[in-house]
Amino acid sequence: MKPAHKLLFVVCPMLVLGFIYYSSGKLHLHVWGQKPLFDKQGFMLNLDTKLPLDLAYKYGNLSEGACKPGYAAAKMTAIYPKSKPASMFLDRNFKRLAKVINYLPPFGFRTQERIIDVILSATKNYGLGPELDSLICKRCIIVGNGGILSNKSLGSRIDEYDVVVRLNEAPVSGYTRDVGSKTTMRITYPEGAIQKPERYEKDSLFVFSAFKPLDFKWLRQMVYKEKLVRLEGFWKSVARYVPREPSEIRILNPYFIQEAAFQFIGLPQNNGLMGKGNIPTLGTVAITMALHNCDEVAVAGFGYDMNTPHAPLHYYESVKMSAIKESWTHNISKEKEFLRKLVKANIITDLTNGI
């Protein structure tokens, strides 16, 4: 035998043995389970993960209280390594969004491509506007509608944020001491939108979040100021007129609904269709959007305290907490588990401590 062949005879069995040893080690790890690092959703179990060194170093140089560029995304990636970037609103390239193109509303926009094209060709604007888009560091706050906002005088703190996000018909006028007066955008769907035209605040973006195909038709009629002809198919009355110019209207990237539902919260996939308990609340969708698009994220007015059934559910009406019904669409408790992770990991700041 040639020496080279001899060597092969020795090396091959060694490689095979090595491989077996290696894979049994893997198997061993898998079967006997060293401590798992991740939970079922893919979040690190250890939520107080440190920032990457370069960022920690960079932030160390910032003055006390300054906005930290890239903070939310870096923290999120640290506890959820699968995190990927996603833009806030749909733009003319929306058909390239691989993750949403194959899902029907609310998790994507399949079947609605044509109507979205028509809407986007009228709105012609796909960002927050030149001033906010050019900020090196954006601080965003999502103002939830919870009664927990009442009598805390957080209004001036809320107004300090660069981007103030409000949801549905939550009023500002009459409540500014507690909820602030600035509204950068209002995220809403047909049934949730403000119905009285005079109640719309000036200088805010009307951000549309679709839950069903019909919602896109409604939006087209609002954008083109057409008379709303078909009203059946909505689960309650809807706004018939939105006093906003097309340039002040945006379509929220449906990816945030999909990601919040299936990845972050772990709601039932239901073959990618809307089903029992698999729709995240608009508040959590807005937080998901902010995690991808803001450098720092805060929330206020989130969280229901079921131990105080007589406390008000919303800050703007006297309906009591006890009125909240078992929801068919949402899974509040599972959603709260996700939001608690964000608070524990210091990714979001909860001004009202309700999460």
Residues that bind ligand NAG in the complex, under the rule CB under 6 A: 57-58, 61, 147, 150-151, 276-277, 312, 331, 334
If residue 348 lies in a helix (H) or strand (E), which one and from where to where?
A: strand 348-350
Output 213 or 275, the one with its CB closest to ligand NAG: 275
Whole-number minimum distance, CB 3 to ligand NAG, in Å? 56
Give CA separation, 2 vs 8, 13, 15, 71, in Å: 10, 18, 20, 62
Write out the DSSP string of 135-188: -SS-EEEEE--BGGGTTS--HHHHHTSSEEEEETT---TT-HHHH-S--SEEEE
Output 22 or 57, the one with its CB closest to ligand NAG: 57
Whole-number minimum distance, CB 334 to ligand NAG, in Å? 5
Whole-number minimum distance, CB 148 to ligand NAG, in Å? 8
Whole-number minimum distance, CB 294 to ligand NAG, in Å? 22
How far is the C-alpha of 214 from the C-alpha of 168, rounded, in Å? Answer: 18
The helix-helix angle for 213-223 and 113-123 (nearest 10°) equals: 30
Output 131 or 326, the one with its CB closest to ligand NAG: 326
Whole-number minimum distance, CB 154 to ligand NAG, in Å? 13
How far is the C-alpha of 259 from the C-alpha of 99, rounded, in Å? Answer: 9
